[in-house]
Amino acid sequence: MVARIINGKQRAASLRQEIAIGVEHLRAQRGITPKLVAILVGDDPASALYVRRKGEQAASVGMHSESHQLGSDISQARLLALIETLNRDEAVHGILVQLPLPPHIDKAAVLRSIDPAKDIDGFHPVNVGMLASDSEAASDRIVPCTPMGCMMLLADEIASLEGLAAVVVGCSNIVGRPMAQLLLQARCTVSIAHIHTRNLPDLIARADILVSAAGAPGLIRGSWIKPGSVVIDVGINRVPGEAGQGARIVGDVCFEEARMRASAITPVPGGVGPMTIACLLENTLRAAIAQTALQGSARFRSARSSDPA
């Protein structure tokens, strides 16, 4: 079997189109334009690039965006004061603090200070708890962006996930744990592997769905993969290129081996990566809809989804 290659770039583009329609609806019906604000602390070039891309993509779907670049020596009190101002600003619907933060700042305190209704990364304990408590449909809630994107890619491949065996490699707060929660909500039988897991190949051999977010290049060999499974590779790893070539980006899964066994697989780059920022925009739109207290937001959403793309 040779796997179908899942095109995350194309899927993200169609999601952005759908979001742009939702943004237009909100403007037409309520006179509101969703606004996302990013806070960047320090001058890490990769973080600056991510923040710039988020702003560009927000503009491409018709949202407002703004970024605050703060020096790496900013005090925690001043950062918290800025977040509090943004929390109170009714024109701001989504707030994100680009990670990592400098060591003198308490990351947990910062994430906790964001109004959960504006927490478009989905990292606030209230949103983490909502996801874990299975209280509402995930399709209307803010959930962490990368796992949300993985679920959309899986939904395109598999009509019903119910009863399937899913293995998530990695248990970070950003990817692994929320991914496992979403798969559980989709009624998969979920196993979570991490650095201390024994017999990873045996576990993976039973997975109908494999999601790897370990950050370990080439960790997962093709021979471990259950034939016919769907493989979602979240890993983004920079490795030295061939002689005379620069560094290249690879996933956690040995792609060429795995594509001979899986039924579908995400490439790296071009798989999960492009979905992440698109899902951040989806969360910003969801947050704006919730904050405008639209009576019957479900009706709004179904109008949104029935629009031609």
Contact set with ligand NAD (CB under 6 A)? 146, 169-172, 174-176, 193-195, 197, 200, 213-216, 219, 234-237, 272-273, 276
Active site residue 76: no
**φ, ψ for residue 231, nearest 5 deg:** -115, 120
Q: At closest approach, how far in Å is the CB of 85 from ligand NAD?
A: 28
Residue of 35, 57, 98, 252 marked catalytic: 98
Residue of 35, 118, 121, 233 marked catalytic: 121
68 neighbors 41 (Cβ within 8 angstroms): no
216 neighbors 176 (Cβ within 8 angstroms): no
Instruction: Determine if residue 187 is left, alpha or beta; phi over 0 gives left, psi from -120 to 50 gives alpha, anything else beta.
Output: left
Closest CA to 38 of 92, 113, 105: 92
CB closer to ligand NAD out of 55 and 176: 176
CB closer to ligand NAD out of 189 and 197: 197
CB closer to ligand NAD out of 150 and 289: 150
What length does the chain have?
A: 309
Q: At closest approach, how far in Å is the CB of 275 from ligand NAD?
A: 7
Q: At closest approach, how far in Å is the CB of 146 from ligand NAD?
A: 4
Strands (E), 22-148: 35-41, 64-70, 94-97
CB closer to ligand NAD out of 146 and 292: 146
Q: At closest approach, how far in Å is the CB of 107 from ligand NAD?
A: 12
Instruction: Classify strands 209-212 and 165-169 as parallel, antiparallel or unpaired.
Output: parallel
**Helix (DSSP H) and strand (DSSP E) numbers for the chain:** 11, 11
Active site residue 9: no
Active site residue 106: no
Task: Give the residue numbers marked as catalytic.
Answer: 54, 98, 121
